[in-house]
Chains A and B, each alone.
Chain A
Amino acid sequence: MAYQIRISPPQRHTLFDLRGTPQALAARLQGIVPNLPTQPCSLVRHGQGTLMWLGPLRWCLMAPPEAEAALEAALMQGPADHDAAITLISDTQAFFRISGRDAAVAMSIACPLDLHPTAFGVDHVALTDAFGVRALVLREGDDWILGLEPSYAAYVEAQLRQIV
């Protein structure tokens, strides 16, 4: 029996790496994202932006490619801050969208996370391993977003297509 999975071609998104204290980052994000996520490995959406909490002092802001210039102008204005570092990293990640009836099965083969809805619900996000590569996994409704370093995209796509 073949799995029913659709794998989008790798896509580029606008991506900012944010590191620092919650207070300093909240100040820098004023007018862009009203609140930081309150639970580890969760996210908040505002407008076109998705802010993900990925580590004790690490967040990631994702947005469509066309929003990059405006977001960069908004985030990079003002003097450098000792307590908050914001870096544009759009070129460091390629994103697959994995959908279809058996998308969760494909993801559970790809990565070691417990992906049961009670453990990894909608809008849950995590940094993990996918086929041996560091990866970002995000559950978006019934679809899954898999982000990884672009030079591994062809390898990971081939592994995913083997599942199909």
Chain B
Amino acid sequence: MLLIHCPFCGPRSEIEFSYGGPAAPPRPDDPAQLSDADWVDWLTVPENRIGPVPERWCHSKGCGAWLTIVRDTRTHEILEVRHGA
């Protein structure tokens, strides 16, 4: 069970949060300029590295804020929590 430090509410149980997937890199400014392979890569291929990974979580049963969390996939240690993207 993760204990996530919501910037507004303080430390809260993972039960109160909904996982929103990996935090994708910023959307390309002009997708029309990308190759099909690059567009598919940005759209559908998340990073799956071992170690610190940025993820989106929504405090859905708490304050409702969307958070970006950097979680170490080896230890589940949460290294950073911030509001928004």
Decide if B10 is an interface residue (CB 8 Å cutoff).
yes
A85 interface contact, C-beta 8 A: no
Q: Is A41's CB under 8 angstroms from B61's CB?
A: no
By the criterion CB–CB under 8 Å, are A127 and B10 in contact?
no
B9–A129 CB distance below 8 A: no
Q: Which residues of A contact B65 (CB under 8 A)?
A: 55-56
User: Main SS of the interface on chain A?
Assistant: strand
Question: What number of residue pairs across chains A and B have CB atoms under 8 A from each other?
Answer: 43
State A127–B62 Cα separation when bound (angstroms): 5
**A54, A58, A114, A127: most-surrounded residue (chain B CB, <10 A):** A127
Please provide the chain B residues from 29 to 54 with a CB less than 8 Å away from any CB of chain A in the complex.
Answer: none
Q: Answer whether residue A64 sits at the interface, using C-beta atoms and an 8 A cutoff.
A: no
Q: Is the CB of A41 within 8 A of B12?
A: no
Contact B61 A127 (CB under 8 A): yes
Distance in angstroms between the alpha carbons of A126 and B16 in the assembled complex: 11
Q: Is A134 an interface residue (CB 8 A)?
A: yes
- The answer to whether the Cβ of B76 comes within 8 Å of any Cβ in the partner chain is no
Cα of A41 to Cα of B63 in the assembled complex, Å:
9
**8 A-B Cβ contacts within 8 A?**
A55-B63, A56-B8, A56-B63, A58-B63, A112-B16, A114-B11, A127-B61, A134-B60
